[in-house]
Amino acid sequence: MKKEIVLTFLLMVMISSFASAEMIINQQPNKVYNLGDSVTIPVTIKTITGVSGTFSMDLLCGTKQINFYKNGVNLVYGEEKTFDASLVLTKEVVGENVGNCKVKGILGTEYFLTNEFKISNLITIKPTTEQTEFEPGQSVLIYGDVIKENGQPANGFIELELILANGSSENILQKGTINNGMYSMNITLPQKMKAGKYLVKLNAYEVALDNARTNKGFINYNIQIKQIPTSLEIILKDKDVQPGKSVEIKTILHDQTGESIESTSVITVKKENLEIPEGGSPTEKRTGEYLKLPIVYNEPPANWTVSAISNGLTAEAYFTIVENEEINVELVNQTLIVTNVGNVPYNGTINIRIGNISKDFNLFLPVDGSNKYELKTEYAGEYEVELLDKGRESLFKKDVVLPESRVSGSTGYAIRDFSQSTSKEFYARPIFWIFIALLLAALIFILIRRHKKRKETGVTKKNVFKDKLKIKHEPKTNTAWENRAVPLSKESKLKTNNKANLSLSIKGNKQEVSVVNISVRNMGDLQAKKSNTEEPLQKIVNLAENRKAFVYENQNNLTFILAPSKTRTFKNETTALEIAQDAKEIILSYNRIAKYKMDFGISIEYGSIVEKTENGIMQFMSLGTLMSNTKKISAASQGEVLLGENIKNKLTNVRTEKQDNGRITYYKIKDMKYYDEGNSRYMQSFMNKKTGESNQGTKYNNLPPQDKTQKTNQNTEKSSDPKSLIKGFY
């Protein structure tokens, strides 16, 4: 019984000793902790009676309790001790337990609870979004701050994804670092990035020692890509424009992806000679809208230029005013008036029919020119009148009432062509012969009077002859244009009487011409070496002019143009071949004795030009590829005469071999057929060379200057004889 009393007493003493110990929390935990932070809870235990046992601390999160601290306690009466318990919030310790938690301290049967605090794994990203609009191809700096929920700066990594298209592998991905709560990344936008809004995704995270991601955060925001003008396009509804109609032009401004941009543009139209036509001056127009520019009916064929400017971008396009050979027919009283309403001269044969009788007329009309045809019939009545153009298409067909007229011939009909009958009727008029008679009488009167004065003054025929000789030796101050020799250009030493100048745009007559081109490829070197190349070239110029050729010089090219307006014949192909062959022989003769040889080529071609001759000088504009083809063919020549395709078809008696150097097709002369050996001086020349009789070339070149000039004149006079035209070729 006594033992039980003692044990009970001792138990009561022990219980009273524990009850007398007090646990004091020195510092409450913070309100928020992030994973990786340390939670420190300093606790002081003070006892009055003494205490012995184990002090522990647990983390309480929801229904889960995790012990993180244990320590033994043995205090005597009045003693106190402070315990610094800390907890590192790692996934190994807390697992996925994030949220509101408390810390519980336990000593025996006594315990305490701290204030509630939050364990978080969140990171807040604060991007700097002062600039949200960017241009394609621009380098973009993306930066900002990253703060953990506990308010402390984060240290980890950040990933950027710029979404170009949903599920696309072309999205822009970039990875960066976070240091002391700051991140910075530089990305370059694609050059052809389509204009519009794009989503930017940012994901930030921290990494533990085991490379596991702890605190995380993300944010999404949009950026705008601007629409940037990158190209300007000019669209022509028709590139080949008929005169008398309108050319329709519009511009389209494209952005970086080719999409159109609504804007304005300034459109300017210029002719080939850079002249701005009426209505072609700079005009502001909305992009995508057509500008209509009317073209007058008689605008000559040419290439026009369209230029446009918009948002600092420029563009050019070209269209062509095509040839329009057209005539208009109207009846005034009993006269048909035919007018050229096209933009090129009209040259062809028309047919006029009265009843069952028709007649052909050769018609040549310049632009806006007209001709009249008077209709006559022996018997008055209504007749069907029709006019057919040179293509045998009916332009006028109508029943016309014709009065009775005096008609010569048995047909009973007559058509009077005013262009041909005017001069004949003039010479048939009596007044013309009266004028001639008066003129002869005046001339006889003057001669008789002059003879009487000589007798009275004692002037003899001998003195008169001396005076005439004196006058002849005096310099001429008013020489006719045809006798003036002018330089081909400022730099050229060659002189010509039949000069030709190239013009970009002229109004004149369209003609089919034969062209000879001589290209001296080493002309610059020969001039630098002061070689006497002018002498043979001047001989060629004189020879060509005696055959009525116009001469045009351009750099290393010497071009001879045989135009029907000068030669008075449409068949100039044979003459062109003569000039080419003579030029070849002159240059070869020169090369045989010259120290520095000419590297030359010769070509012949046939094509169209528009020409206008004033004061003996021909202004011309090449149509199509005539001039460029002749230069390309002569460039391919190695001292021989090459033919273009057009003139090859004209020279039917020439056997040729087709050649192609990749740039141009041309024909080499193999042989020439002939019919009359006596009339073909080129055949005779060829045969003389074969038999060794043609040493005249060398002798000719060794003659003194005066003899050479005389020889040249003799040769040119001989070649101008119509009998020397080539009837047969070799």
Q: Is the pLDDT of residue 236 over 90?
A: yes
* Measured CA distances, 487 to 317, 524, 536, 549, 615 (Å): 38, 18, 16, 16, 15
Q: In angstroms, what CA-CA distances link 115 with 31, 91, 103, 112?
A: 8, 22, 8, 10
Whether residue 532 contacts residue 652, with contact meaning beta carbons closer than 8 Å, is answered with no
CA atoms within a 13 Å half-sphere pointing along the CA-CB vector of 684: 10
Rounded to whole angstroms, the Cα distance separating 190 from 168 reads 15
Q: Which of 238, 335, 326, 337 is nearest to 290 (CA)?
A: 238
Confidence bin at 471 (pLDDT 50/70/90) = very low
Q: What is the pLDDT of residue 166?
A: 63
What pLDDT was estimated at residue 512? Answer: 92
Say if CB 207 and CB 199 are below 8 A apart. no
Q: Are strands 117-120 and 32-34 parallel, antiparallel or unpaired?
A: parallel
DSSP codes of every residue in 69-85: EEEEEEE-TT-EEEEEE
Average pLDDT over residues 249-273: 91
Quick check: 709 pLDDT over 50? no
Task: Find out whether 222 and 132 touch, Cβ atoms under 8 Å.
Answer: yes
Residue 273's pLDDT is 83
Alpha carbons within 13 angstroms on the beta-carbon side of residue 560 total 31
Residue 289 amino acid letter: E
- Report the Cα 521 to chain-centroid distance in Å: 29
Does residue 322 contact residue 295 with C-beta atoms inside 8 Å? no
> Residue 653's pLDDT is what?
83
pLDDT surpasses 50 at 281: yes
Q: Write down the H helix ranges in 430-488.
A: 430-457, 461-473
- Asked whether the beta carbons of 674 and 728 are under 8 A apart, the reply is yes
Q: How many other C-beta atoms can be found within 10 angstroms of the C-beta atom of residue 629?
A: 23
Query: What pLDDT, on a 0 to 100 scale, did the predictor assign at position 425?
Result: 52
Average pLDDT of the residues in 251-272:
91
Evaluated on CA atoms 445, 448, 453, 459, the torsion sign reads positive
The confidence band for 240, taking pLDDT boundaries of 50, 70 and 90, is very high
- DSSP code string of 496-535: ESSBEEE-SS---EEEEEEEEEEEETTHHHHHHTT---HH
Chain CA centroid to CA 345, Å: 32
Average pLDDT over residues 456-484: 46
- Parallel/antiparallel/unpaired status of strands 172-178 and 196-207: unpaired
Residue 499 three-state SS: strand
CB atoms within 10 A of CB 204: 24
Looking at per-residue confidence, does 263 or 724 come out higher? 263
pLDDT number for residue 2: 52
Mean pLDDT (the chain, rounded)? 81
- For residue 456, pLDDT over 70 is answered with no
Ramachandran angles phi, psi of 330, nearest 5°: -140, 155
Q: What does DSSP say about strands 617-622 and 600-614: parallel, antiparallel, or unpaired?
A: antiparallel
Q: For residue 392, is pLDDT > 70?
A: yes
Higher-scoring residue by pLDDT: 14, 184: 184
The sheet carrying 133-134 orders its strands as 133-134, 213-225, 196-207, 156-163, 172-178
Residue 374: how many other CB atoms lie within 10 Å: 15
Indicate the range of 39-43, 350-354, 416-420 predicted with least confidence: 416-420
**Nearest C-alpha neighbor of 622 from the set 505, 489, 499:** 505
Residue 585's pLDDT band (cuts 50, 70, 90): very high
pLDDT at 266: 94
Residues 322, 300: Cα–Cα separation, whole Å: 8
CA distances from 209 to 439, 575, 707 (A): 130, 101, 112
Highest mean pLDDT among 527-531, 569-573, 621-625, 675-679: 569-573
Dig out the tokens for 124 from the structure.
């807040």
- The pLDDT of residue 18: 43
Most confident of the following: 63-67, 476-480, 629-633: 629-633
Residue 605 predicted with pLDDT over 90: yes
Query: What's the CA gap between 677 and 548, in Å, rounded?
Result: 25
Whether residue 486 contacts residue 541, with contact meaning beta carbons closer than 8 Å, is answered with no
Least confident interval from 333-337, 677-681, 699-703, 726-730: 726-730
Name which residue leads in pLDDT, 485 or 249: 249
- Which of left, alpha, beta for 312 (phi over 0: left; psi -120 to 50: alpha)? left
Q: What is the pLDDT of residues 81-119, one digit of tens each?
A: 898 888 888 877 777 778 899 999 998 888 889 999 998
Sequence length of the chain is 730
Distance CA 192, CA 2 (A): 103
What is the C-alpha separation between 173 and 509, in angstroms, rounded? 70
Task: Dig out the tokens for 469 from the structure.
Answer: 């000789």
Two tokens, residue 552:
């045009």
- The three-state secondary structure class of 588 is helix
Cα 267 to Cα 249: distance, rounded to the nearest angstrom: 9
pLDDT at 565 over 60: yes
Position 274 scores a pLDDT of 84
Q: Provide the CA 419 distance to its chain's centre, in angstroms.
A: 47
Categorize the per-residue pLDDT at 204 as very low, low, confident or very high, splitting at 50, 70 and 90. very high
DSSP 412: S
First and final C-alpha spacing in the chain: 164
Question: How large a percentage of the chain has pLDDT more than 70?
Answer: 81
Mean pLDDT score, 143-171 = 86
Q: What is the model's pLDDT at position 452? A: 73
How confident is the model over 384-407, as a mean pLDDT?
87
Contact present, 543 and 639 (Cβ < 8 Å):
no
Contact between 216 and 123 (Cβ < 8 Å) = yes
SS (H, E, C) 637-655: CCCCEEECHHHHHHCCCEE
- Strands 495-496 and 486-487 turn out to be antiparallel
Confidence check: pLDDT of 678 > 50 = no
pLDDT at position 242: 92
d(CA 651, CA 571): 10
More confident residue, 490 or 358: 358
Residue 188 has pLDDT above 80, yes or no: yes
For residue 78 the two structure tokens come to 């009045």
Phi, psi of 645 (to 5 degrees): -65, -40
Residue 707 has pLDDT above 90, yes or no: no
In terms of DSSP bridges, do strands 246-254 and 260-261 run parallel, antiparallel, or are they unpaired? antiparallel
According to the model, what pLDDT value does residue 679 have? 40
How many Cα atoms sit within 13 Å of 663 on the Cβ side? 11
Region 144-164: what's the mean pLDDT?
91
What are the structural domains, with CATH classification, of the chain? 2-120 (2.60.40.10), 123-225 (2.60.40.1930), 231-321 (2.60.40.1930), 327-427 (2.60.40), 493-724 (3.30.70.1230)
Q: Which amino acid is at 156?
A: G
Residue 148 has a pLDDT of 92
CA distance 478 to 344: 37
Mean pLDDT of all residues in 452-478 = 49
Question: pTM for this structure?
Answer: 0.46
Which letter does DSSP use for residue 550 in this model? E
Is the alpha carbon torsion for 164, 167, 173, 177 positive or negative? positive
Give the Cα separation of 607 and 623 in Å (integer).
Answer: 8
